[in-house]
Amino acid sequence: ATLIATVMNATTTSSSISSDGDKNSGEKVLSTLPSSPQLTFEKYVTMQGKRVPVEIRYSSQSGLRPFFLTVAKRIKTSYPDVVVTKRIL
């Protein structure tokens, strides 16, 4: 399996009027966006393996679940390449 990200090439048609008043229509201007190589499944798995695991531990009786959700969200916002897991004691 291969994950593919495609960037569409933008093609625009421009028309210009010369000093004679003649309209030059159909003149095509191609503008392309730079593209990167396709992301293969092996590369995706490698990138997932390089993520930093973060474990948050708390007891079930303490009622800290809302705090876990807040902390997990803030960690993911600051460091998007981490995997946050929880362990309820």
| Residue 20 clears pLDDT 90, i.e. is over it | no
Residue 75, Cβ density class (10 Å: 0-12 exposed, 13-18 middle, ≥19 buried): middle
Q: Is-contact 12 29, C-beta < 8 A?
A: yes
Arithmetic mean of pLDDT over the chain: 73
List helix spans (H) across the chain: 41-49, 65-78
Confidence of residue 74 (pLDDT cuts 50, 70, 90): very high
Question: What digits encode the pLDDT tens for the residues 24-52?
Answer: 555 555 567 778 788 899 998 888 888 89
CA gap 16, 60 in Å, rounded: 71
**CA-atom Rg of the chain in angstroms:** 26
pTM: 0.48
Strands 10-17 and 23-31: antiparallel
